[in-house]
Amino acid sequence: MARVVVVTGCTTGGIGFALCEEFARHGCKVYATSRRIETIGDFSSPTIEKLSLDVTSDESAARAIQKVIDAEGRVDVLVNNAGTIAPGPILEQSIDYVKKVLDTNTVSILRVSKEVMPHMVNRQSGLIVNIGSIVGDVPTPWNGLYSASKAAVVSISEVMAMELQPFNIQVLHVAPGGVKSNIAANASNFRLVEESLYAEYLPDILRRINTSQATESMANEEFARQVVGKALRKKQSFYTYFTLGSNSFTFKVFKWLPRVWVLRFLWKMYSKKA
């Protein structure tokens, strides 16, 4: 029986889109979701259906998951991938914007998982995949809000894994490094606030925005191949942490080094004031 997969944040050119293609290649029935369906391009597989799902709306999440349940009777795999970049000095971002980013990157994981959980519990089976980031483990300057939102995702994944054990539901936390996608393009018009204290650092901020899209960044098709391979393993641990993409090994090492040294190193790296 084909596994039923729901993926959030499937805009064309992003890793969500690539994940849908890869799950379908493995014979899964896939529901590719986005707030606006028109942002999702055409897929190569007829087993992928497009579905509207705004991860910042309780009503939209409930409606979308119920549509999948009505059609398929179950959700075997939920991939919480939707997210937004949030560059800039952390104390110069408006509180309204902070709330919006945290809702999109962090609260949304709880929102959509809450809709899927009862159905997985009823079947005593399921996998929830949360897409975090290496900067959720070690933050960088000019990306603090995004780093904070993804740091929270790490804790959410770990607690979910513990609390879902009684129901045979597994959690896979994915921490990507540099992966080719459209995420940096979403910040292509970045501007500092008027009279910013950090005007001289603007070149550094722009360089930080584009770091994940460097030449050595992993192709999103390869990212999808490896993540789907982990997700569809026959034997799953109740919790798996998986990191991949450019700089992922470096950040893994950073986690073991003295924190103050790491923070100083990262500040020097992104404060050249070119």
- Average pLDDT estimate for 9-28: 97
What pLDDT is stored for residue 40 in this prediction?
97
What pLDDT is stored for residue 213 in this prediction?
77
- 49-81, pLDDT tens digit by residue? 999 999 999 999 999 999 999 999 999 999 999
Report, as residue numbers or ranges, the catalytic residues. 146
Structural domain contains residue 274: no
Is residue 185 pLDDT above 70, yes or no? Answer: no
- 187-234, pLDDT tens digit by residue? 668 999 999 999 999 999 999 998 877 778 999 999 999 999 999 998
What pLDDT is stored for residue 23 in this prediction?
98
Is residue 135 pLDDT above 80, yes or no? Answer: yes
Spatial CA neighbour of 47 closest among 72, 70, 21, 73:
21
What pLDDT is stored for residue 245 in this prediction?
95
- Average pLDDT estimate for 155-168: 98
What pLDDT is stored for residue 216 in this prediction?
84
Structural domain contains residue 160: yes
Predicted TM-score (pTM) of the model is 0.96
Percentage of the chain exceeding pLDDT 90 = 91
- DSSP assignment of the chain equals -PPEEEES---TTSHHHHHHHHHHHTT-EEEEEESSGGGS---S-TTEEEEE--TT-HHHHHHHHHHHHHHHS--SEEEE-------B-GGGS-HHHHHHHHIIIIIHHHHHHHHHHHHHHHHT-EEEEEE--GGGTS--TTBHHHHHHHHHHHHHHHHHHHHHGGGTEEEEEEEE-BB-SSTTGGGTT--PPTT-TTGGGHHHHHHHHTGGGSTTSBPHHHHHHHHHHHHT-SS--SEEEEEESBTHHHHHHHTTS-HHHHHHHHHHHT----
What pLDDT is stored for residue 184 in this prediction?
63
What pLDDT is stored for residue 87 in this prediction?
95
- Provide the domain count of the chain: 1
What range defines the domain where residue 123 resides?
A: 4-269
Confidence band, pLDDT 50/70/90 cuts, at residue 1: confident
- 109-131, pLDDT tens digit by residue? 999 999 999 999 999 999 999 99
Mean of pLDDT over the chain: 95
Assign residue 233 the CATH number of its domain: 3.40.50.720
What pLDDT is stored for residue 273 in this prediction?
63
Structural domain contains residue 156: yes
Structural domain contains residue 147: yes
The more confidently predicted of residues 207 and 152 is 152
